[in-house]
Chain A
Amino acid sequence: MQPFSGMSLLKRGLSGQRGWTAQWRHPEPRHAYDVIIVGGGGHGLGAAYYLASEHRVGSIAVLEKGWIGGGNTGRNTTIIRSNYLFPESAALYDHALRMWESLAQALNYNVMFSPRGVLMLAHTVHDAQVFQRHVHANRAAGVDNEWLTAHEAQRFCPLLKISDIRYPVLGAALQRRGGTARHDAVAWGYARAADALGVDIIENCEVTGIRLDGAGAVEGVDTTRGPIRAARIGVAAAGHTSVIMKMAGVALPLESYPLQALVSEPVKPVFPCVVMSNTIHAYISQSDKGELVIGAGTDAYTSYTQRGGLHITSHALEAICELFPMFRRLRMLRAWGGIVDVTPDRSPIIARTPVPGLYVNCGWGTGGFKATPGSAHVFAWTIAHDAPHALNAPFTLERFRDGDLIDEAAAAAVAH
């Protein structure tokens, strides 16, 4: 791996950018690995990186059916925050947020983490009370979150219209450490760092079956590029996790929904932070390219199509135009969908499964990007130790049977 530094960039810059080598190899799959990760998104690539850098589990491969970072890692709106209500969630997401803060240094790759502040708007008395409860719960748990009046929110985000609209802004919760990162760079940075540690990243390699031995433990996978043996398999396949896990006879409490986002034409820097509104359902930030990145809600029905209905994105744009009237004349450039795997309690599952040697990291629903480093880190731990890390111990598959739900859906009005 050629390390990036100010000096190396200057040197290549002055010599016509010649001499850079590929950032990761494109190896042919071997017949066997010690650990296989299914899914080459941020969570899977990150897990491979931490397995190689912290746990030394032997040979590792990441199998990706398309190209790395081409699923939800490349399709989300890149919002990062950790102000979840319950202690289990706040601890997990804040673990991730602390890792974001030094990820570029750890990977020697600029993931463009930008803690510009995430503002969550309250439009009703109920919103205001719930958010203030969040603020108190977060502060008690050591997670930064503060309550702003409507005028303070407007000072933080001057474009925001707080009155004379259908749902006036009554106040807002602000997490200053929250922000955005460059989604592709997260996949590429983990891929490059993992590859340098000997991880084989195998693209265009779809898993078509999981092989079990006589005792019911995993012994390998069948893929479109031939069978590959492995005694440990970690699945991080987002919206397709149900499909993969069914191959090993494991049924999961997941449903896959389309979630859409869109970007405007690029404009000069105009929007200083991230604004989210759960009540009128829209969220927005500005990318470093200048596009306004706008997220919509999920479509109503389960689907694997990676597209959704126009009325869903229109609804989000109506909310954006109401909150930020100056954006009414902007044209939208692109819209797309991703397939998100949603659990009944809107919390992830990062756990062992009933099949020995098979591990799963799924159920991130509409908000998995923010958790990428923390999720990958504890998933790697879980695979390496055949036991959960303290931070993901509550996020089991059995919690649904035992009634130990981490019910962020009902209590936190979580958006994305």
Chain B
Amino acid sequence: MLLIDCPYCGERPEPEFVHGGQAHVTRPARPAEVSDEVWADYLYLRANTRGVHAERWRHTHGCGRFFNALRDTTTDQFLATYKVGEAPPAPAAAQARP
């Protein structure tokens, strides 16, 4: 079970959270004007990173808010959590965090 550091509430156990998929996926501003390839990529293509991955979590059984996290998918270790709208911290800087 993961211990997740909600930026609003602090560290809480994983069952309080819902995973929200890859972070920073941007919806095309005008879907009708993009090609089928671009639209399919937006809908279905995800990085599936082996390594440091930016993802969304929602603290459903807590503050209820979405936030983002950097997690290493080869160890499941969280490197950082940060609020929606903020840029992801550089992995090196995040790793230096205790």
The contact string, 1 if C-beta is below 8 Å from chain B, for chain A 171-199, is 00000000000000000000000000000
The segment out of B36-44, B80-88, B90-98 that lies at the interface is B36-44
A242 engages B71 (CB within 8 Å): no
Q: A-B pairs with CB below 8 Å: how many?
A: 58
B73 engages A303 (CB within 8 Å): yes
Select one of A254, A307, A400, A402 contacting B48, CB under 8 A.
Answer: A254
B43 engages A400 (CB within 8 Å): yes
How distant is the Cα of A162 from the Cα of B53 in the complex, in angstroms? 44
Interface residues of A, dominant DSSP: loop
How distant is the Cα of A394 from the Cα of B80 in the complex, in angstroms? 41
Q: Is A209 an interface residue, CB under 8 A from the partner?
A: no
Q: Is B29 an interface residue, CB under 8 A from the partner?
A: no
Which residues A307-365 have CB closer than 8 A to chain B? 307, 309-311, 344
Q: Which residues of B contact A311 (CB under 8 A)?
A: 1, 14-15
Least Cβ–Cβ distance between B56 and chain A, in angstroms: 10
Q: Is B75 an interface residue, CB under 8 A from the partner?
A: yes
- What are 27 of the A-B contact pairs (CB < 8 Å)? A242-B48, A242-B50, A251-B41, A252-B48, A253-B44, A254-B46, A255-B46, A255-B48, A256-B48, A300-B17, A300-B19, A301-B19, A301-B55, A301-B76, A302-B49, A302-B73, A303-B73, A305-B73, A305-B76, A309-B1, A309-B14, A311-B1, A311-B15, A344-B43, A400-B40, A401-B37, A401-B40
| B interface residues, Cβ below 8 angstroms from A | 1-2, 14-15, 17-19, 36-37, 40-41, 43-46, 48-50, 53, 55, 71, 73-76
| A interface residues, Cβ below 8 angstroms from B | 240, 242-243, 251-256, 300-305, 307, 309-311, 344, 400-402
